[in-house]
Structure 1
Amino acid sequence: MASISDSYQVQAYKLPAGYEFTFISSGHEPIIKAVQYAYIQKFEDRDVYNLGFGDLDLQSQQIVDQVKSNNGDAYKVFRTVLSTIPKLFELFPAAIIMVQGSDSGSDFAEKCRKTCLKNCNLTCRRSNQRISVYRSYVEKNFENLSSTYWFLGGFAENPQSIITELYIPGRIYDAILLFKK
């Protein structure tokens, strides 16, 4: 990734099917965060890992990706998430990383409407916010990042299938896939 300075120190853990990086967000209060790369499938002889991110629930050891902590350190947390990408490629040089937002599924809007205070009509305003953050970062840094990584843009055909194309800056995607050149 582009130079990611001012990020939190991460701890790496091997998982049965991937890797996890944890760190402590020390904004208003200490919150344990986790970035998990979970193997999902093969694509053109490469292993694809889904990037999952959120607060780590210590009791269940599960990532809670629907929560917004508002801990006052969002930029540092985001830089820390990005700092794990080169680390994963050091471990798995031929990997493909897929990024999707946990707020992008069709069921998200339905669940959101039950508690939302924004009174959205047909379109949920909170849908797709997370993939938009990653897409915005790629857009702003595309030229620099493209010297090291190939990017694909993905369209969710259904929850189990994504159609990909070479990434076109300015196009809105449901997923971003990247791999080392």
Structure 2
Amino acid sequence: MKHNKYISRANDSFLLYQFTSEGTKGSVRKQVIYSATSAENIYNLAFGDYDPLTKTIDDFSITDNGDSFKVLATVASTVITFTERYPKAWILVMGSTPSRTRLYRMGITNNLAEISEDFAIFGYNCERQWVRFAIGEGYDAFLITKKENGHTS
């Protein structure tokens, strides 16, 4: 995404990324975690505010720091870095609430031309099927993979 983004730091395995949101509410630590699922090469993307006391992320928190586009662009940049390290990966993305899933859909919609240059995107629809992402459709979750994995159309 060609939007401004924060600098994120990845751990050695490239499964965990940290960055700091700077905005109207101050500095808020964020974390993105890619975790393997029971399905081969499918990773869940978890994202939220990082709590250093519990060493966990809160994916229900509403930071309201005035930088949501920059935060989403930063999360998207971790997808690029992650798939450089794990090129066969499929990334499962689902918001912790319906409104967050809708926010992710809007982010994909607004950047679809750019995203589609390198990635194939699928949405899980109300008929419980994975279909090619289409603008204007509602989805409960998203799967993203590099086009080189055989999904170029």
Q: What's the RMSD between the two structures over aligned residues?
A: 1.9
Q: Which structure is higher in strand share? A: 1
One-letter code aligned to 1:32: R
Runs of 4+ in 1 over 3 A off after TM superposition: none
Larger Rg: 1
Q: Where do 5+ consecutive residues of structure 1 fail to align?
A: 104-127
One-letter code aligned to 1:22: Q
Map Cα deviations across residues 15-62 of structure 1 (whole Å, 9 max, x no partner): 6xx7110011121311111011111132xxx51111111110111111
Cα distance in 1, alignment partners of residues 121 and 134 from structure 2: 9
CA deviation after TM superposition for structure 1 residue 170, in Å: 1.8
CA deviation after TM superposition for structure 1 residue 66, in Å: 0.7
Q: Provide the residue aligned with 1:11 in structure 2.
A: 9
Aligned length: 146
Is 1:144 aligned to 2:114, yes or no?
A: yes
Q: Provide the residue aligned with 1:96 in structure 2.
A: 90
Q: Provide the residue aligned with 2:70 in structure 1.
A: 76
Residue identity over aligned pairs, in percent, reads 32
* Aligned residue among 103, 106, 111 for 1:133: 103
One-letter code aligned to 2:79: I
One-letter code aligned to 2:132: L
Cα distance in 1, alignment partners of residues 76 and 91 from structure 2: 12
TM-score (norm 2): 0.85
Conservation of the 8 A alpha-carbon contact between 1:156 and 1:175: no
